[in-house]
Amino acid sequence: MTMPTIRLMPKAEARAIRHGFPWVYSNELVTDRRTKALAPGALAVLEDSARTPMGVVAVNPQSRIIARMLDRDPEAVIDRDWLAARLRAALAHREALYDAPFYRLVHAEADGLPGVVIDRFGDAAVIQPNAAWAEVLLDDLAAALADVTGVSTIVKNGSGRARGLEGLPEETLVMTGALDGPVPVAMNGATYMADLTGGQKTGLFFDQRDNHAFVQRLVQGRRVLDVFSHVGGFSLAALAGDASQALAVDSSAPALELAGQGAAAMGAGDRFATRKGDAFDVMTALAEEGERFDVVVCDPPAFAPNRQALEAGLRAYERVARLAAPLVAEGGYLGLCSCSHAADLTKFRNASARGIGRGGRRGQIIWTGFAGPDHPQLPQLAESGYLKSLVFRLSE
């Protein structure tokens, strides 16, 4: 089948795309009536302004990212076999990293499947089709996923801000197989309970694995506070590292219930407690109660999901650090995390340091962490390297 062609405007940065940048913005493309009439998710051949073919792209005239590069071969056929080849390459990398099948299998553009996230939970996998082309080819993607990995249960998680930007509806469903409850996930010696249909994102955040492991080295015999804990990310890792006690704070009762189930499954329920509430309010209350912890970790949601929210987001990160710092015992450790790609490492580090100072403390950075290697970064796309994790050792 002959694909339609779309063309870059003369002033568009064709060089960036040739060098690996995966997106074309709507103001860079000639958007005549024919292009505007393309259905969201349609495939086309992208040409530069001189009409030289550059590759096969997925088009969505309803999105600011009007085209996403799929294959730099203009003759490529995007079908189930093509999808399977990308999945096999992604799987080979993860199998080299991990002994057990619990990881991010596909990290969107960085794995050559733009807008697609797939997390694997043993015999189950969750697909987030966050781009229109992936929604159109979802059945083929799921079939290829089953063929390549052998998973029997596949969940579509069609929720989140990214789908809204693509004009896609929210929808979560089990496409194949069945689930009879949360899936236990072993990671860093801890047991996490992942709700694949009702939890945040895909049910568990694999990206913090290496940062959990570092904090785990600091906690033996110590009290740990895990703020914005979700299903117990840092607190359960701390219990696996022989922390004397761990307190998980989150606004979600279901997430804290899953955290409690994980602690019980580890045989550590007697060392684990939860506190439901707004994280800022709870940290304020803990300070008023005179509480101190040897290790405090704060892993909030993305306060700066885009450039427009950057300044407000940096103030929020500073506030987190200001409230958390007084809760750390002398010589203890404070971990601060950001999953906001708009806040780069320098800006996040500066906001954190300001907050620690405003909290009356001084700190030395002993760890700078990022997402694990199952979340590869595409060098040309800053958004693929979103996670930053800092650990400070505090003094008065």
Angle at 228 between CA 304 and CA 363, to 5 degrees: 80
What lies within 8 Å, CB to CB, of 113 at 6+ separation is 83, 86, 90, 106, 134
DSSP line for 277-301: S-HHHHHHHHHHTT--EEEEEE---
Dist. CA 255–CA 232, nearest whole Å: 8
Cα separation, 304 vs 371, in Å, equals: 17
Q: How far apart are CA 234 and CA 222, in angstroms?
A: 13
Tokens of 312: 């407000």
Catalytic residue among 339, 343, 390, 394: 339
CA–CA separation, 150 and 84 (whole Å): 12
Copy the structure tokens of residue 362: 């001084």
Q: Evaluate whether 347 touches 369 at the Cβ level (below 8 Å).
A: no
Based on the residue annotation, tell me whether 339 is a catalytic residue of this protein: yes
Do 8 and 14 touch, CB atoms closer than 8 A? yes
Cα angle 196, 162, 138 (rounded to 5 degrees) comes to: 60
Cα 221 to Cα 256: distance, rounded to the nearest angstrom: 23
Q: Which of 339, 337, 351 is nearest to 384 (CA)?
A: 339
Distance CA(173)–CA(220), nearest Å, equals 41
Task: Give Cα 362 distance to the centre of its chain.
Answer: 30
d(CA 177, CA 31) in angstroms, rounded, equals: 42
Its sign, for the CA torsion 63, 127, 278, 314, is negative
Q: Which residues are catalytic?
A: 339
